Amino acid sequence: MDEPVILIEDLHRVYTMGETEVRALDGVSLSIGRGEFVAVMGPSGSGKSTFMNIVGCLDRPTSGRYVLEGVDVSSLDRDARALIRNDKIGFVFQNFNLLPRTSALENVELPLLYSRKHRLSDAGQLERARAALGHVGLAERWDHTPAQLSGGQQQRVAIARALVNEPTILLADEPTGNLDSRTSDEVMEIFQKLNDEGRTVILITHEPDIAEYARRVISFRDGRLVGDVPVGQRRVAGRLAAPAPVAPGPGPRAPEVHP
Amino acid sequence: MTKTSSILKVAFRAMGRNKLRSLLTALGIIIGVACVVATIGIGEGARIQTESQLRSLGTNFLMVFPGTVTSSGARSGWGSNSKLSEEDVVAIRNEVPTAAYVSASIRTVAQVVYGNQNWSTSIQGGEVDWPLIRSWNVAQGQFFTDADNRAAAKVCVLGQTVATTLFGSDDPVGQTIRIKNIPFKVVGVLEAKGGSMMGQDQDDTVIAPYETVRKKIMGTTAVGMIMVAVSSEDLVQRTQDDITALLRQRHRINRAAGQEDDFMIRSQTEMLQHADEQANTMKVLLWSIAGVSLLVGGIGIMNIMLVSVTERTREIGVRMAIGARGGDIRAQFLVEAVVLAVFGGLVGIALGIGIQSLVAKYAHWPTSVPPTAVALAFLFSALVGVTFGFYPALKASRLDPIEALRYE
Ligand SMILES: Nc1ncnc2c1ncn2[C@@H]1O[C@H](COP(=O)(O)OP(=O)(O)OP(=O)(O)O)[C@@H](O)[C@H]1O
Ligand SMILES: [Mg+2]
């Protein structure tokens, strides 16, 4: 299994807006192997989200090659990309993007409803969704709607949703951007656990200490890859000591029970 | 393609998540279909009733009216110089052997008073054969006699409605009532005819001798109409022809010289046809109203679906990000539109049937909802759902997932 999960060669993404051209990605080449945990950093507007959208098959490159698990996906049409997203990609967003007034379980079940890989019975779908919720430690909250969950819990539901279809890669665009540092640590703990189980994780962040949870950090500037370094001292989540500064938030919460 | 059950699941959950919006979306269709079912039920009931009333008169029944019929079918000269006379009545009686029973007839509306009871009703003047022609018998007392008619006696026979209105449970026979302030002796009460013709209560009437009504109540010389019962059904056409010939001769009408008849004979069959034509005109009108209200309902669906697509842009983005294809999104919104339209259709049908049975109960108007109308209303609402749901669904399916996810 030496073949990289993601192989990118000379990737360009140019937005044309009237006269002006924005080179959001300007010649990026990169390879990411199975089981890696990569943090993507860089100043605002450097092209991180653009990169992520292309890796997640939401967008297509203007030029360049993107090979996902040995398949060139750079020129697939909308429907084919939707299939790939359902099958191989799990998205986690900064603002969670859960369906409102919908239980955690049904939110997690959603990707299965569009799946062609897993043609499960209704009961099978629910069981799978329940298992994914259990994986992020929220089995008991299955019937809570997003409004009844804290930010950290909502993000964990979103991670369960990203997981439920057993994707090849997990993509997270600033998943801790809306969370305080204690909750961020809880969320990063889950990402680390998933990575330890062998999943490939790519995560955008602005915060250097979040990047330290990863094993490798790549940096963008002006649409170019300007840094690619392994993390020397990997930070391990779940060991956040009490003195860590806690941003003003909903106050201390009882620790979640992890099965 | 994604599993149908999944599409249905997705659509039903989305509708359940916002029940008020779903109800509002369906409201136009609910009202439209309820209108359709109620109006058609009421119209159809009236048609059936009219028809059965006409049929109950018997198929060997002719009516001779004064007046001409123009080529366009409109009646003119009504009551002017074109008149039917009592001599015409006598002539028909004597010279047309197939006319079994003949009665001059006249009608007006007047106040009838008994004690402190006061009632406005239809006063009909008829001759002694009237009950035989109308196949309408006397329940209490008896009908007036030919002698009463010739003497213009102030006697009358009451319809059931008038009898109960004026006398309650008392026996009216032998009592005296006042019609236009003239005292009339009640000699009989007609049996209840029941039902109503064109929404009118047939029992709400008083029958008096023709001569009495003509002279004492109306003060006219003209015959309002001549009623003829033909001895057998297959002689109706021949009788009609004979009366036509007789009256033309008596009124000196030269058809060859292009003169129009100054009278008009209607047979039962023609009246039925006429009623049917009217019912059909009514039906076209009702179905047009129905069509317009369904159209309005459909536009309502499209309107709210479009708003809903905009409102749910983020949801659509999320669905696309996790792998829904354009077709899945389109199917979801289309299913929502059709389910809401069909739901609206069903509720509308129930509501419509409810309305028309209320009308039947409280307005004493006969109603009948034909199953075809229900089936059509149902089918149309589904069609409306597909038609008007399609554009919003298409719009939703064409959203760009990245922009949709960013939508605030
Ligand atoms: N749809 C678009 N149309 C035009 N320009 C765009 C579009 N999306 C992104 N850009 C531009 O491309 C560049 C890179 O944007 P991108 O969103 O990838 O940055 P980013 O690194 O994710 O920034 P941030 O940290 O603020 O999220 C920016 O200059 C941005 O203005
Ligand atoms: Mg970004």
The nearest CA of chain B is from the CA of A16 a distance in Å of 16
Specify whether B118 is located in the same domain as B246: yes
Look at residue A256 in the predicted model and tell me its pLDDT: 45
Best of A110, A113, A171 to mutate (most B CBs within 10 Å, chain B): A113
Specify whether B96 is located in the same domain as B244: yes
Report the alpha-carbon distance of residue A203 to residue A173 in Å, rounded.
6
A192-240 pLDDT, tens digit each = 999 999 999 999 999 999 999 999 999 999 999 999 999 988 899 887 5
Domain boundary assignment for chain A: 6-230
Report the alpha-carbon distance of residue B406 to residue B408 in Å, rounded.
6
- The secondary structure of residue B84, as a DSSP letter, is B
Report the alpha-carbon distance of residue B39 to residue B27 in Å, rounded.
18
The third-level CATH classification (topology) of the domain covering A6-230 is Rossmann fold (3.40.50)
Specify whether B102 is located in the same domain as B239: yes
Query: Which residue stretches of B96-178 are H helix?
Result: 130-133, 146-150, 160-167
For residue A127, is pLDDT > 90?
A: yes
Specify whether B231 is located in the same domain as B287: no
Specify whether B284 is located in the same domain as B391: yes
For residue A246, is pLDDT > 50?
A: no
**Nearby residues for ligand 2 (ion, Cβ within 5 Å):** A 49
Specify whether B121 is located in the same domain as B182: yes
Specify whether B309 is located in the same domain as B398: yes
Give the H or E element holding residue B228.
Answer: strand B225-230
Q: Which of A112-126, A216-230, B78-92, B122-136 has the lowest mean pLDDT?
A: B78-92
Look at residue A249 in the predicted model and tell me its pLDDT: 43
Place B200 in a pLDDT band, splitting at 50, 70 and 90.
low
Report the alpha-carbon distance of residue A183 to residue B117 in Å, rounded.
88
Contacts of residue A114, Cβ cutoff 8 Å, sequence gap at least 6: A82, A86, B2, B6, B319, B322, B323, B324, B325, B328
- The mean per-residue pLDDT over the stretch A152-165 comes to 96
Please classify residue B403 by burial: count the beta carbons closer than 10 Å to its beta carbon, then call 0-12 exposed, 13-18 middle and 19+ buried. Answer: exposed
Specify whether B233 is located in the same domain as B155: yes
The beta-carbon neighbor of B322 closest among A78, A79, A161 is A161
Look at residue B298 in the predicted model and tell me its pLDDT: 85
Specify whether B250 is located in the same domain as B298: no
The beta-carbon neighbor of A86 closest among B3, B322, B326 is B322
CB contact under 8 Å between A82 and B6, yes or no, is no
Nearest Cα to Cα of residue B126 among B153, B149, B105: B105
Number of domains forming the structure of chain B? 2
Residue B357 lies in a domain: yes
- The mean per-residue pLDDT over the stretch A70-90 comes to 94
Residue found by looking up tokens 């109503």 in the block: B196
| Alpha carbon nearest to ligand 1 atom 18, residue | A47
Place B199 in a pLDDT band, splitting at 50, 70 and 90.
low
| Alpha carbon nearest to ligand 1 atom 28, residue | A45
Percentage of residues in chain B having pLDDT higher than 90: 45
Check: CB of residue A206 under 8 Å from CB of residue A175. no
The nearest CA of chain A is from the CA of B348 a distance in Å of 28
Place A255 in a pLDDT band, splitting at 50, 70 and 90.
very low
For residue A259, is pLDDT > 80?
A: no
Q: Which of A138-152, B41-55, B143-157 has the lowest mean pLDDT?
A: B41-55
pLDDT top residue among A112 and B3 = A112
Give residue B369's domain range: 2-53+273-406
Look at residue B13 in the predicted model and tell me its pLDDT: 85
Distance A156 CA to ligand 2 centre (A): 20
B317-327 pLDDT, tens digit each = 999 999 999 99
Specify whether B138 is located in the same domain as B190: yes
For residue B187, is pLDDT > 50?
A: yes
Look at residue B2 in the predicted model and tell me its pLDDT: 61
Look at residue B75 in the predicted model and tell me its pLDDT: 52
Mean pLDDT estimate for chain A: 90
For residue A254, is pLDDT > 50?
A: no
Contacts of residue B223, Cβ cutoff 8 Å, sequence gap at least 6: B66, B83, B84, B85, B86, B88, B89, B104, B105, B106
Specify whether B239 is located in the same domain as B309: no
Choosing from B194, B227, B261, the residue where a domain stops is: B261
- Quote the longest CA-to-CA distance of chain A: 56
Specify whether B207 is located in the same domain as B161: yes
Mean pLDDT estimate for chain B: 86
- The mean per-residue pLDDT over the stretch A22-40 comes to 96
Residue B28 lies in a domain: yes
Report helix, strand and coil shares of chain B as percent, to nearest 5.
55, 20, 25
ipTM value = 0.90
- The mean per-residue pLDDT over the stretch B39-52 comes to 79
